[in-house]
């Protein structure tokens, strides 16, 4: 038995394909609630790192440059990066000992053993609410 066809988007003739440099993030970040768990600032930093990353997932943005690019305070970026480090979604190789800037690398999310969550369907409104956005 087939389900209903997917809804038609506002611009059905538009088909997106990577052109030039692009970033990507794994769907598990959304479906396994990683984004909700790390919060909206860390999600924004993760998107920035993904867009700036090379083929190994490495980015060389300084924390100051991240703050400027995202319109966030230096402190908010530091907290966001620590949340991503704690979650195991990024790693850092400092330029030298004692320095908190260096090469940031995106890491694949580790599998989560939560089949109940995986079966839950979330609306876009639920996802945004889980990320801390409110109407």
CA distance 46 to 61: 12
Mean pLDDT calculated for residue range 107-111: 89
Residue 114 located in a structural domain: no
What is the total count of domains within the chain?
1
Residue 37 located in a structural domain: yes
pTM: 0.73
50 and 23 Cβ atoms separated by less than 8 Å: yes
The confidence score (pLDDT) of residue 135 equals 61
CA distance 109 to 70: 23
Residue 52 located in a structural domain: yes
Residue 124 located in a structural domain: no
Over residues 67-104, the pLDDT tens digits come to 999 999 999 999 999 999 999 999 999 989 988 899 99
Q: What is the mean pLDDT of the chain?
A: 86
Residue 123 located in a structural domain: no
- Residue 123: pLDDT above 80? no
The confidence score (pLDDT) of residue 99 equals 84
Domain range spanning residue 75? 28-109
Domain CATH for 98: 1.10.10.10
């Amino acid at each position: 038995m087939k389900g209903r066809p997917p809804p038609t988007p506002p611009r059905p003739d538009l088909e997106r394909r990577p052109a030039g440099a692009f970033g990507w993030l794994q769907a598990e970040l959304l479906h396994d609630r990683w984004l909700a768990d790390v919060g909206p600032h860390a999600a924004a930093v993760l998107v920035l790192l993904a867009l700036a990353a090379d083929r190994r997932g490495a980015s060389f943005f300084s924390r100051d440059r991240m703050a400027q690019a995202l319109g966030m305070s230096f402190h908010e970026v530091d907290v966001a990066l620590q949340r991503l480090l704690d979650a195991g979604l990024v790693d850092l190789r400092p330029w030298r000992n004692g320095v908190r800037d260096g090469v940031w690398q995106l890491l694949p999310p580790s599998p989560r053993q939560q089949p109940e969550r995986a079966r839950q369907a979330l609306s876009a409104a639920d996802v945004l609410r889980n990320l801390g956005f409110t109407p």
